[in-house]
Amino acid sequence: MSTENEGAVGPSEAKPPTEPLASDSAPASASGAQTPDTVHMPTTPPAAPPPPDFTPTAAAGPHGPAAPGGGIPGDQDRTATMAAHPQQPGGPHPGGGWGQPPYGGGGDPWGVPGGPAPKKRNGGLIAAVLAAALVAGGVGGGIGYWAAGRDGTASTTVTAPGNPEALNRKPTSVSGIAQKALPSVVTIEAQGITGEGGTGTGFVYDKQGHILTNNHVVAGAADGGGKLTVTFSNGKKYDAEAVGRAEGYDVAVIKLKNASDAVLKPLPLGRSADVQVGDATIAIGAPFGLSGTVTTGIISAKDRPVASSDGGGTSASYMSALQTDASINPGNSGGPLMDAGGNVIGINSAIQSAGSNGLGGEPQQSGSIGLGFAIPIDQAKRVAQDLIRTGRPIYPQIGVQVGMRDTGEGATIARTGNNGTDSVTPGGPADKAGLRPGDTITKLDDTVIDSGPTLISVIWQHKPGDRVTLTYERGGQEHTAEVTLGQRTGDK
């Protein structure tokens, strides 16, 4: 049995998930999708019209073919795996455990359900195709101009200036909300000391220069002493440093260096607890490196248990996510998901992506299929406050190790713990409430628990000191227990 030390409900012994974002295996069901930090795409068309026999060629970039002008920086893949849920058939991939690799190689302290170990990929293929398409568009325009110049029938059309009033939009319209929010949304470039890196999104959290984003956006630079650069919509760039990171929550706070007060316009935060299915959503980010991209949709589900992991297996997290059908793609990671009032209700973190294998068996990055997942802002705000105050995350816990492979029947406390430890922490919250090895937790308050990952995602919606009611089965009999959540402080 794969078990998880629910210290934060943290795993202990399993082999976590999942499929890489753009799929190198089977289509995802209750399994993996991912959202990487994105890729830059050169978008400048040729400077001069080409001759009729011109044939564009692609320069070799560091991660695959690219358009003229340079290669495509790699990204960090982000996989989303939906845990089994009462409203959705299926279950998580088997696996999950402290210090176990999500793909059979490399450590994963969070125990996201597992699968085979794919190669590390930099996800440049789709970006390269998009870049090539943009260049082809430029070439086509050049050829059209050249042909018109040879034809005596060429003409010029002059358009009268438009009505300035027609450009005004109501503040409550999507356009009005986007115009107000865009100056507060930033593109984050994270570069490791080896020169590899990628891009993601973040947004201004306060007037002290703190930027809220995903941990997986900045982890590559923060772990290896690399460089973080933040670019605003007006083109201004600032260096930044990591203030604190919460790997399990996939939340990070970075701080700008020498930023002027004029650019620090915090986005208003809403209440994710008040969000309802069907509410309108607006997402802003840098999908595939295209900064300032605005998409819209609705909340298509709430409290969706999701386990997500980056393609390198360096981090994994659990969330009880807001699900949206707004178009979310690699590079939207860390960006705001807003409501119809322009308030942030979540941090876009992962996507479910239909996968297919690329040429030569290489995984391709897939785009949005209308299943994006955001960390609820109520949880992200609490985590951000801890990180700003202490630089370290605080995880609520009940102090048990639970099975991560079994789904549909609840979260079963392991008979024995990892490395000879007790599966129920002596003196911990669960021990004090009378829970024992072999008990199967089926509900937390009114939420049905159908797996270990679901238990984790629900507990992490709370804070240490909260009192919850656990329903569990022992020997065919149902019991309840009041539990006061303990806490564990992590390094990240």
- Of 333, 366, 368, 451, which one is the catalytic site residue? 333
Q: Is 333 a catalytic residue?
A: yes
Q: Is 439 a catalytic residue?
A: no
- Of 2, 40, 216, 439, which one is the catalytic site residue? 216
Show the CA angle centred on residue 68, arms to residues 56 and 234, nearest 5°.
130
The phi and psi torsions of 396 (rounded to 5 degrees) equal -70, 150
- Of 24, 37, 108, 250, which one is the catalytic site residue? 250
For 40-60, the three-class secondary structure string (H helix, E strand, C coil) is CCCCCCCCCCCCCCCCCCCEE
How many angstroms separate the first and last alpha carbons of the chain? 27
Contact 93, 218 (CB under 8 A): no
Size of the chain, expressed as the number of residues it contains: 492
Q: Who's near 180: CB < 8 A, 6+ residues apart? A: 171, 342
Structure tokens at 362: 């290489």
**Burial class of residue 366, CB neighbours in 10 A (0-12, 13-18, 19+):** buried
Neighbours of 230 (CB within 10 A): 24
**CA 423/CA 193 separation, integer angstroms:** 40
Structure tokens at 286: 């840098």
The DSSP call for residue 189 is E
Instruction: Using DSSP, state whether 416 is helix, strand or coil.
Output: coil
Q: Amino acid identity, residue 126? A: I
Q: Is 24 a catalytic residue?
A: no
**Strand ranges inside 83-145, DSSP E:** none
Residue 370 falls in which region: left (phi positive, over 0), alpha (psi -120 to 50) or beta: left
| Alpha carbon 484 to chain centroid, angstroms | 30
**Burial class of residue 324, CB neighbours in 10 A (0-12, 13-18, 19+):** buried
**CA 445/CA 468 separation, integer angstroms:** 6
The phi and psi torsions of 186 (rounded to 5 degrees) equal -120, 155
> What is the set of active-site residues?
216, 250, 333
